[in-house]
Every structure is written in structure tokens, then in C-alpha cells.
Structure 1
Amino acid sequence: MASKEQYSADYIELSINENNENDEPPDINQKDEPDCQPTTGLLTEQDNSSDEDFVIFENENNKNAVPKHENSLAIQALPSLIISVIGLVFAGKLMDEFQKSDVFLNTTELFILLPILLNLKGNLEMNLAARFSTSSNLGELDYGPTRRSLIVGNLALLQVQSLAAGAIAGVSSFALGLITKPGSSTSYYEMMFMTSSAMVSASFSARFDVDPDNIACPMASSTGDIVTLVLLASCATILQHQMESIFSTVIFLIMLSMIPVFGFIVWRNKHVKNLLFSGWTPIILAMVISSLAGVLLEAYVEQYKGVALLTPVLIGLSGNLGSIYASRISTCLHAEIKEKYKVVEYTLLAMNVPVQIVFLLIIWGFGMGHLQYNFWFFLSYFFISMICTWVCLKIGKLMTLVFWKMGYDPDNYVIPYLTASIDVIGTILLVSTFKALTSTGANDMALETAKAAVATAT
């Protein structure tokens, strides 16, 4: 395996001890240790087929060391997860309301765009949160000039990624709409409408004594979902009235012209310069994967009650828990310290229980989604939520270790693939469960409009 110094910023770069630049803190070697036990563990090509997949430890006395604060994960992450699930409830409620609005009824491709755009923004924001979490735990944010440089560079990079990927999301959702609905009436103006709405939404939705790995990703994801949904609905409503004019094209050109401006800022920043032309593959491929979830959402959102309400929470919470796990493992790998895999996995899986209970109590108490809240609904939803979380944790761990072994920085690669995968898995499980509940008579999940359409057809 090549030495660490040979990798660019797109790859694993652990040369934080080299004090060659003026804005590096003079005492960077005196960083605080993250919430893991220090070891001399280094990554090797050997697969040990144990809990420490892909990792061996030179000091056997530290191999089974327990983290200093076993309860810190639950204590720190649970409040942020509960706050995030409240945000996801609002996001689901907004999506449930938007499906009845004129702009979404007239342009159903927006339902394809929603998962793509939410996945895009979630990935970019959680990647940013994961990078800052690693930098914080390594002590890189403790020195003022370095901190300011990292913040400015990463935010500029976020804008470049948001604008470019937002354009791709708008065009791809329009194209998928043509594929799934051949013969539908579409035009250049509708494509500009979709693309400009996506770009505006993606662009503008944008430390205490706790481990940032435990709180950053859930908070970034939930707040980003709400802001992105509101911005998309607002932009789509405003631009819809100008659909047959060049107004959307002008907005598109203005947003496109901002890319080189922010790109120049990133290019001048040595901390994120190399990320300007790298790390795009996981973002683009994740959008392609999540587009499958968008097609499913468009197909079934008008057939089953609660799909728009439950989908963001089901996939969002599972993705948050998996992202916490991946972020913690990445930090420990960067710092060459030991993560207690099984303890963290079981803790995160157990944390899904109270958070999902809070969610179910909220939607039941406020009667959201027009659902029939019986025993079979609660049991089936809770069961698939545990499956989604377990799958997400396993995928997150495997991806983080595999990308690290391949020489890629997990902070830039894992979360996009992880969240996109769980988007598709969660949507398939939810729709399949609703079908099973309706067909067996355990719970009627079908919308009245769907029943009426079936009655008319027969």
C-alpha cells in the first residue's frame, strides 16, 4: 500500500504533523484525543475477519480497549437525533401537503426531483459535517487562521458542488419524467423550470464539549431537508407562473455563472483545492441511485396514504444513524485510534427505538398522514425501520473500511453511497409493506383517489 503522503486531498491525507504552512497551528501535535482508546493500530492489506475488519494492532494490550466514555455516544447523539426526527416530521408533513398543490400536480416530475435533491443536499452537508468532525477531533480547528481557512474553503466548495449537481439533478429528473411517462407534453421551458428550481434550492439551503461525529450529521441532514423542501416548493411556485417565458433560463444562467466565482475561491484555498476536481463520482452516482427512489415515490405517492410523510423519516433517520457510525469510524482511522464496533453498532441500533417511538407518537397525536393507526401499522413500520437501520449500519461500516483500505478518504466517499442506497432500500420496503397491509386487509393504506381510479377502470 502506498504511503499516506502520496495521496491528494481526494485520498487519505494524514500529514497533519507537518508544520510547513504559515496558517498551521504551532502546537498541532498537542491535539485532544477523540472518544476512543489510542492504539498503534495501522491499516494493512490483511483482512483479519474479526471486528477490526481490515485493521490490525501492533499493541495487543490495546486491541480490546474500551472507549473512555461508553455512554457518551447515546448521551450526545440521542438529543440531536430526536431534534432531527422532529425536523424530518416537518419535512414529511411538507411533502405530504405539497403532493396536493397545483405546482406538484401539474409537474409530477418534481416528485422524482425531491429524493434526488434531498439526497444531494444531505450528502453535501453531511460530507461537510464529517470533514469538520474529523478536523475538530484532530485539533485542526483549534487555531484561528486554519479554522477560518477551512470554513471559507469548505463553504465555497459546497456552493460549487450544490450548483453543479443541482443542475444535473434538474435535468436528470426531467429526463426520467420523459422515460417513465412517454408521450407526455413537455418542452424546453419545463426543463429550464425544473433545472433552475433545483439549482436555486440546492444553492441557498445551505463547538461545544461533545464529539462532533455524534451530532453533526443528523443536524445537518434534518435542517437541510426542511430548507430544501421549502425552497423547492417556493421556487417552483414562483417560476411556474413564468413557465413559458425565458425567466427560468435567465435564473439558470445567473446560477451557472456563480460556479466559476466560488470555484476560484476554492482554487485559492490550499485545504480544499484538490477537492474541486475530485470527489464528484460518489455525488453523481448517488444521485443516479436515489433517482430510483424518486421514480418509486412518483409512482406510489398517489396510491398509498402516508408515503410522503413516512419516507423522509424512515430513510432519513436510518441514514443519520449510519452516517454517525461512518463518521466515527473515519475519525478513528484518521487519528489511528480504536473504535469499539459492536458496542457502537448496538448502541445506535437501540437508539432507533426511542426516536421512532417519539415519531410515531407525534404523527398519531396530531393525526398526520390520514393513516389508520392500528397494531399492524405500528408493528410493520417499526419492523422495517429496524431493518433499514441495521442494513445502514452494516453498509456504513463496510464502506468506510473498504474505502480506507483502497486509499480513499471515507469522509468524502461513504455518505453519498450510503444515503443513496438506503433511499432505495427504505422506499422499496415501505411500499412493499403498504402493499402487503392493504392486500391482506390488515390495514387499508390505499388513497381514496386510487380506489376511485380502480372502481372507474372496472
Structure 2
Amino acid sequence: MAPLVSTKNDYIELSSTLNEDDEPPDMRQQEQQQLAYPMGHKRSASIHRNSMEALLEEANDLTPQDDDLAKTSVTTTRPKHLIFQSLPSLIVSLVGLIVAGVLMDEYQHWDVFLKTPELFILLPILLNLKGNLEMILASRFSTSANMGDLDYGPVRRSLVIGNLALLQVQALVAGAMAGLASFALGLITRPDSISSYYESVYMTCSSMVSASFSSAILGVFMCALILICRHFQVNPDNIACPLASATGDIVTLILLAGCAVVLQNHMESLLSTFVFLVMLSLVPLFGFVVWKNKHLKDLLFVGWTPIVCAMVISSLAGVVLEQYVEKYKGVALLTPVLIGVAGNLGSIYASRISTCLHQDTHENYTSVERVLFLMNIPVQFVFLVIIWGFDMGQLDYNFWFFFTYILVSLICTFICLKIGKWMTIGFWKMGYDPDNYVIPYLTASIDVLGTVLLVITFSLLTSSGANDMSAPGNMQTSSLDNASR
């Protein structure tokens, strides 16, 4: 009994239904939290599963004073709540995707990128790795919020510090992997180029610094956002993943460009080596912080497989994109938004299902899938209006272009929602925490699928004469071929 007395005043209610006595959760809530956390490689085999009849009976027996307590533990499934909470974040993520595309287009003319073309190889690899890390954090922390673990001071502080430290470990390792991979790919694609030790360290150092600093900024932002959502009774599952994806790309791009410019002036010196060693020494430091955290200790050595596999799978999309980006107009402009919006919708769905599985509550799959599927239409409509209004991509905006693009986006969204549902439930049944495994595989799969579908659509439009999607250089080649025939 002594531990219960000593921890009584350590619990601080964060939700809007404040507990004036500052009491710890009852024994039932403690049991649920112990079963759910630490959420590591394997879930506890003794997870208590209530039948749906028992949940419905318990909900019907709630007294008025218990109603607020129920709201803190059951995921909101009303369509209007989902729309009001998710649509603004999806619009913001759309703007973020467009801004990221504009930045990438601007960077290709910078002197630092012209002198070091490997930086362009680094960009998609680093953005993919970093995006997955931040979305995993958003999904995992959203589950913690909906489970009520963030309502109590010691647990909240432990989870915030542990998640930020874990994100630094993952970002530093992922940054090193991305830097070395981009340098190696640069040697393969440009065998005649002269590369040196200094250039390899320069690439790796720039990647690690930008990944670490962007993770620090975005990690604090996401934790604060989810805590605010919890306080105002907003389900963070509906908004966290899209915002993590959108802001992550922009911040990482800006930091990478800044680091590359600063370090390029000292490329032939030992400055990059010194910075690299400093960043490398931070890995065991942050790793020790995570190791001492009982809630996240197990996550230090798990979750790397989906991140690495996602990088490999996404590279296939990069190969397809590289082959057709100069053949068809608008591929570079449309692909990131097409796969980005579908991936965000699928991530919202997967995050919601994961929370329900941890809470042992029921998700209305049909209703949520329908709402998320239809939500893709206004988001894509806003995107098409923006690129049409600013005449971006030098596209021929006719009926067939709009129709086929919307159709492909709906197909991608439908498939992404289904894959997200099957993966989340599948990993849960196999004993793995979906928060740490689903999103990397989901986003990587939709990267390949969306890119292939868009290229096929553009090919059909061009071959049928409905819309000439050929790039200007390719159009001249086609004309010469037809003349020779």
C-alpha cells in the first residue's frame, strides 16, 4: 500500500475533465496501462479482451457523472468530428507538399546542389526516412494520449522525454544511412566522377545534422500538439500524422540546404569529420536515455526493419519516377501530392485502428473508411485549383486530365485505406504493435503504386489522343519518329 500512497500526488489530470483530488487511475486503468506499455516488439500475451456486448452494456449503464470519463477513453467515430478535425490538417499537409515541391525545384539551381549532385539523390531518401519516423512518433504518442497515459505528470514527462530521445537516436542513425546510401548511389550513377573521403563525410554529416535538428523541432511540436489535442478533447489520430508529414518535409529541406551551404565552404577541411564524430557520439547518449526509460526501453532495438524496408521499396518508386519524369509533363509536380494525400489518409485510418485495438474498443470501419475516402475529393480539388490558377507544370488542363487524375487519386486512396486496415489488424494479431510497424510499409507501398498508376494514366491519355502529356523534348522526338515512318 505504501507505493500507492506515495504516488497519489504525482498524477496530474491533463484532459478537460480535471480530477480535483488529483487521484491516480483506479486499479482497472492501471491494469490496462501495464498491459499496453511498454509498447515494444511484442505485445503482452495476457491482454484482456472485453466482448462488444460487455462494452455496450457498460456504456448503457453510465451515469451522467461517468459520461465525461467515458469520453476520455473511447475514440470518437462520428463522421462530422472526423471531417472537422482531419480536413484542415489535410489541407495544411497539401500546402506543405506544394511548398516542399517548390523548394526542391528552387534548390536545383543553387550552386551547392550543382557542385554536389548527390544531394538530389539524398533528398528523397532522407525525406522518406524522416517522414516515417515522425509519423510513427505521431501515431504512437496519439495512442498514449487516447489511452490516458498523458493525463498524469510522471508518466507524461517520461513518455515525452523518452519519445524525443528515441526520435534522436532514430534520426541520427537514419541520417547516417541516408547520407552513405546517397553517396554510394552517386558513385554508381556517375562512375566517371571524382569522389573523395571529404565528400562522403560531407554528405553524411549534412544528412545527420539536418535529420537531428529537424527531429528535435518536429518532435517538440508533435508532442505539444498532441498534448493540446488531449486537453481540448480532440482526437490526435485525426490530425497528427498529416501535420507530421507536411511540416517534416519543409523543415528537413530547409535545414539540409542550410547545412550543405555552410559545410561546403569547408569540405576539404576536417570540420565535417569533427561534426560527424560529434553527431555520432550523441547516438549512445540518447540511447542511454531511452534505455533508462521503462516505457520505451524495448523500442530501442525494434522498428528498424520496416524503416529500412520502406526505404528500399520507395527507391523503386524513385526508379520509375526518374525514368518517366522527363517523358511526361507534370509527373514531378503531381506524384508527391497524389501519394502524399493518399498516404496521409491511410495513416489517419491506421492510427485510429491502432488506438482502438490498444483500448479494446470498436472502430466503425465502414463509416470511417467512407468519410476518409470521400475526404480525398475536396483536398485534390483544392490542389488542382491551385496548380491551374498558377499555371504550374505546363499542363494541358482539359476534362480528361482532371477526370483521370481524380480517378487515380481515388483508386490510390481506396487501396491505401484497405492496406492500412489489413496491415494494422494483421500486425496486431501477430503480436506486434501496429504503431511501430504499419506506417513505413503503408507509405512505401503507396509510393510505388501511385507512381506506377500515374505513369500508366499519362501514357493512356497520350496514346489515345485525349490529352498530350508528353514533355516538350519528348514531343519533338515523337514527331521525328512519326515523320520517319
TM-score by length of 2: 0.78
- Could you say which residue in structure 2 is the equivalent of 1:265? 289
Please identify the structure whose Cα radius of gyration is greater: 2
**1:379-418 residue pairs with structure 2 within 5 A?**
379-418=403-442
Alpha-carbon distance in structure 2 between the residues aligned to 1:442 and 1:223: 37
Local SS of the residue matching 1:271 = coil
Asked whether the 8 Å contact 2:132–2:439 carries over to 1, the reply is yes
Residue type at the aligned position of 1:384:
V
**1:321-340 residue pairs with structure 2 within 5 A?**
321-340=345-364
Alpha-carbon distance in structure 2 between the residues aligned to 1:148 and 1:229: 30
- Could you say which residue in structure 2 is the equivalent of 1:342? 366
- Could you say which residue in structure 1 is the equivalent of 2:234? 210
Shift of 1:247: 3.5
2:24 is equivalent to residue 27 of structure 1: yes
Shift of 1:118: 1.5
2:84 is equivalent to residue 75 of structure 1: yes
Alpha-carbon distance in structure 2 between the residues aligned to 1:20 and 1:69: 40
- Could you say which residue in structure 2 is the equivalent of 1:313? 337
- Could you say which residue in structure 2 is the equivalent of 1:117? 126
- Could you say which residue in structure 1 is the equivalent of 2:385? 361
Shift of 1:173: 2.4
Alpha-carbon distance in structure 2 between the residues aligned to 1:21 and 1:90: 51
Alpha-carbon distance in structure 2 between the residues aligned to 1:19 and 1:309: 58
Residue type at the aligned position of 2:377:
V
- Could you say which residue in structure 2 is the equivalent of 1:130? 139
Out of 266, 271, 274, the residue aligned to residue 298 of structure 2 is 274
Question: Unaligned stretches of 5+ in structure 1?
Answer: 1-17, 32-42, 46-54
Asked whether the 8 Å contact 1:159–1:203 carries over to 2, the reply is yes
Q: Any idea what the Cα deviations from partners look like across 1:278-307, whole Å, max 9, x if unmatched? A: 221111211221222233344444444333
Alpha-carbon distance in structure 2 between the residues aligned to 1:302 and 1:185: 26
- Could you say which residue in structure 1 is the equivalent of 2:177? 168
Asked whether the 8 Å contact 2:77–2:368 carries over to 1, the reply is no
Local SS of the residue matching 2:293 = coil
- Could you say which residue in structure 2 is the equivalent of 1:91? 100
- Could you say which residue in structure 1 is the equivalent of 2:277? 253
Cα distance change on mapping 1:284 and 1:213 into 2, 3 Å: same
Alpha-carbon distance in structure 2 between the residues aligned to 1:236 and 1:449: 32
Out of 41, 55, 59, the residue aligned to residue 53 of structure 2 is 59
Count of paired positions: 420
> Root-mean-square deviation (CA), in Å?
3.2
Aligned-pair identity (%): 65
Local SS of the residue matching 1:141 = helix
Local SS of the residue matching 2:184 = helix
Q: Any idea what the Cα deviations from partners look like across 1:216-239, whole Å, max 9, x if unmatched? A: 111111111111122223333333
**1:159-238 residue pairs with structure 2 within 5 A?**
159-206=168-215, 207=228, 208-238=232-262
Q: Any idea what the Cα deviations from partners look like across 1:366-425, whole Å, max 9, x if unmatched? A: 222333322232222212211111111111111101100010000111111111111222
2:415 is equivalent to residue 421 of structure 1: no
Alpha-carbon distance in structure 2 between the residues aligned to 1:180 and 1:422: 26
Q: Any idea what the Cα deviations from partners look like across 1:177-225, whole Å, max 9, x if unmatched? A: 3334444443333322322222122111122321111111111111111
Moved more, 179-188 or 262-271: 179-188
Alpha-carbon distance in structure 2 between the residues aligned to 1:330 and 1:340: 13
Residue type at the aligned position of 1:59:
E
**1:149-168 residue pairs with structure 2 within 5 A?**
149-168=158-177
Question: Unaligned stretches of 5+ in structure 2?
Answer: 13-22, 30-42, 60-74, 216-227
Residue type at the aligned position of 1:361:
V
Moved more, 392-401 or 186-195: 186-195
TM-score by length of 1: 0.82
Local SS of the residue matching 2:396 = coil
Shift of 1:336: 0.4
- Comparing both structures, which one devotes a greater share of its residues to helix? 2
